[in-house]
Amino acid sequence: MKLRISSAERHYKCPGAANAETARKESGQPERASGPDALAGVETHMAIHDVLAGRPIPDGLDSWQEQVCKWAVDEVKKYEPDVEPDKLIVEQEIYINSVYGKILWTGHPDRAAYYQNEGVLHLWDYKTGRGTQIQAARNIQLRGYAVALTQFLEISSNTIIRAHLLSAGEDGEDERHTSVEFRNADIADAFRDMFEIWERSQAKDAVRTPDLKEHCKYCLACGTEFCPESLAALDGSVLPIKQNVGELAPRDMVRYWVNWHKAIKPAGEALDRHIKALLKADENALPGLGLGTQTSVREITDLNALFSEAQKLGMSSETFVGCCKLTLKAFHDAVRITAKGEDKPLTHKEADALVNRMLALADCFRYKPKARPVVIKED
Ligand code: SF4
């Protein structure tokens, strides 16, 4: 059974995953559709390839994708020599063969550029998803690609493979570029590791070791009958919260509260977002679920007209104004354009000073009571 290098971490941590995923595929159960995040990732990868090949950045990317694309291209240009590589692989299928020529692993590295004169091969892996923070050191996927490239490209044995991992981070503030180097002896070690991982996963009784927050996340068998352990783990993380919370021991209460905030709640929200996106794309995608609309809330569009009606009832202007809420921002904006006319609005600083003076003169403000207490996790 061939394995994918991109899933090497999962096969390393859960030897039984290969059998479980194969059983799921052979069962004929439909595979999960790619979610919007995965599709956005493919677009970003394609954009990086385009720009590095000298083509313009494609239309239709959102600002996050554009930013990640520009950053990745800059990093590649910063590290690779300013000449054409002697060999270039972009998302091409490569293999790790056993010593007898049997294909054990397959993979598609994002980019591998070999510069013979410099004696270096730059291998790149782009992690373009939000919040992705993975390090190059001890990354099994990169080790696998390094082995496959050595076999596939027939590069000289003293070539240094410099493997770069670009993690997009969160909101463009913590993009991270880490790298690791492989020399001839490292490749021999890496080959041994990849062979061992592959061999363990081929055993009929290979064990399954669930970790829902880590390697189970993208496993095809997760949450299905082909991996009862993952089903039990899912139940185990939800069931305690269904208990009568008043009966929980204090230590358990802390543990479940942390689990709820760190794992279950974000996972539930991500699931909700994913389901909405799937249903928006195809309303029949998930039998039993549909998109509804929440009842809309009425808002008042004409205060003057309403005041006229209120006056007929005998309502005073004080009473009427007393039930109208005015935000400081709306008042600030109104002051800006009223003070000197719409053509010459005050600057925000001027308007701030004026508003503060008016509030003080009219003596008509108070500080809102502090927010309600929330539970926080102490370090
Ligand atoms: S769901 Fe997790 S435990 Fe089950 S086979 Fe997949 S990786 Fe292994």
Q: Is the distance from the beta carbon of residue 86 to the nearest atom of ligand 1 less than 6 Å? A: no
Does 173 score more than 60 pLDDT?
A: no
Q: Indicate which atom in ligand 1 lies nearest the CA of residue 219.
A: 6
pLDDT at position 60 is 84
Residue 174: pLDDT band by 50, 70, 90 thresholds? Answer: low
Do residues 4 and 105 lie in contact, with contact meaning Cβ atoms separated by under 8 Å?
Answer: yes
Report strand pairing: 120-127 vs 111-115.
antiparallel
pLDDT at position 206 is 95
pLDDT at position 30 is 66
Q: How far is the CA of 317 from the centre of ligand 1 (A)?
A: 67
Q: What stretch of H or E contains 122?
A: strand 120-127
Does 283 score more than 70 pLDDT?
A: yes
Distance from C-alpha of 249 to C-alpha of 215, rounded to nearest angstrom: 30
Supply the pTM of this predicted model: 0.65
Does 179 score more than 90 pLDDT?
A: yes
**Between 37 and 17, residue with greater pLDDT:** 17
Question: How is residue 49 written in tokens?
Answer: 């390839």
Task: Indicate the burial class of 102 (C-beta count within 10 angstroms; 0-12, 13-18, 19 or more).
Answer: exposed
Average confidence (pLDDT) over 308-333: 91
pLDDT at position 377 is 75
pLDDT at position 75 is 94
Q: Is the distance from the beta carbon of residue 11 to the nearest atom of ligand 1 less than 6 Å? A: no
Mean of the per-residue pLDDT values for the chain? Answer: 87
Q: Is the distance from the beta carbon of residue 215 to the nearest atom of ligand 1 less than 6 Å? A: yes
Name all domains of the chain by residue range, CATH numbers in brackets.
3-202 (3.90.320), 228-281 (no CATH), 303-362 (no CATH)
Average confidence (pLDDT) over 127-136: 76
Q: How far is the CA of 23 from the centre of ligand 1 (A)?
A: 12
pLDDT at position 250 is 83
Average confidence (pLDDT) over 107-129: 94
Distance from C-alpha of 44 to C-alpha of 130, rounded to nearest angstrom: 12
Write phi, then psi, for 292 (nearest 5 degrees). -110, 175
pLDDT at position 128 is 83
pLDDT at position 239 is 63
pLDDT at position 278 is 85
Distance from C-alpha of 112 to C-alpha of 269, rounded to nearest angstrom: 37
Average confidence (pLDDT) over 8-36: 86
Do residues 20 and 226 lie in contact, with contact meaning Cβ atoms separated by under 8 Å?
Answer: yes
pLDDT at position 132 is 63
| Sequence-ordered list of residues with C-beta below 8 angstroms from that of 148, at least 6 positions apart, any chain | 5, 94, 95, 96, 105, 107, 109
Q: How far is the CA of 200 from the centre of ligand 1 (A)?
A: 15
- Supply the residue whose CA is at minimum distance from atom 5 of ligand 1: 17
Q: How far is the CA of 235 from the centre of ligand 1 (A)?
A: 15
Q: For 186-190, 222-226, 372-376, which range has the lowest pLDDT when averaged over its residues?
A: 372-376
Crossing angle for the helix pair 36-52 and 265-281, to the nearest 10 degrees: 80
Question: How is residue 94 written in tokens?
Answer: 């490569």
Q: pLDDT digits over 227-257, tens only?
A: 889 888 877 766 666 667 777 788 778 877 8
Q: Indicate which atom in ligand 1 lies nearest the CA of residue 209.
A: 3
Average confidence (pLDDT) over 187-195: 95
Q: Is the distance from the beta carbon of residue 229 to the nearest atom of ligand 1 less than 6 Å? A: yes
Do residues 306 and 300 lie in contact, with contact meaning Cβ atoms separated by under 8 Å?
Answer: yes
Residue 59: pLDDT band by 50, 70, 90 thresholds? Answer: confident
Q: How far is the CA of 355 from the centre of ligand 1 (A)?
A: 61
Q: pLDDT digits over 28-48, tens only?
A: 776 665 666 778 889 999 999
Q: Is the distance from the beta carbon of residue 219 to the nearest atom of ligand 1 less than 6 Å? A: yes
Task: Indicate the burial class of 108 (C-beta count within 10 angstroms; 0-12, 13-18, 19 or more).
Answer: middle
Tell which residue, 179, 170, 180, has the closest CA to residue 133.
170
Q: Tokens 């208990």, residue?
A: 243
What are the helix (H) ranges across the chain? 8-13, 17-26, 36-52, 63-79, 140-153, 184-202, 228-242, 250-259, 265-281, 303-312, 317-322, 328-339, 348-362
Q: Is the distance from the beta carbon of residue 16 to the nearest atom of ligand 1 less than 6 Å? A: yes
Q: Is the distance from the beta carbon of residue 220 to the nearest atom of ligand 1 less than 6 Å? A: no
Distance of CA 110 to the CA centre of its chain: 18
Task: Indicate the burial class of 163 (C-beta count within 10 angstroms; 0-12, 13-18, 19 or more).
Answer: buried
Q: How far is the CA of 215 from the centre of ligand 1 (A)?
A: 7
Q: Tokens 């692989």, residue?
A: 89
Does 131 score more than 70 pLDDT?
A: no
Do residues 10 and 218 lie in contact, with contact meaning Cβ atoms separated by under 8 Å?
Answer: yes
Q: Is the distance from the beta carbon of residue 230 to the nearest atom of ligand 1 less than 6 Å? A: yes
Tell which residue, 232, 241, 244, 237, has the closest CA to residue 263.
237
Q: pLDDT digits over 200-227, tens only?
A: 999 999 999 998 878 888 888 887 889 8
Does 376 score more than 80 pLDDT?
A: no
**Between 7 and 341, residue with greater pLDDT:** 7
**Between 124 and 294, residue with greater pLDDT:** 124
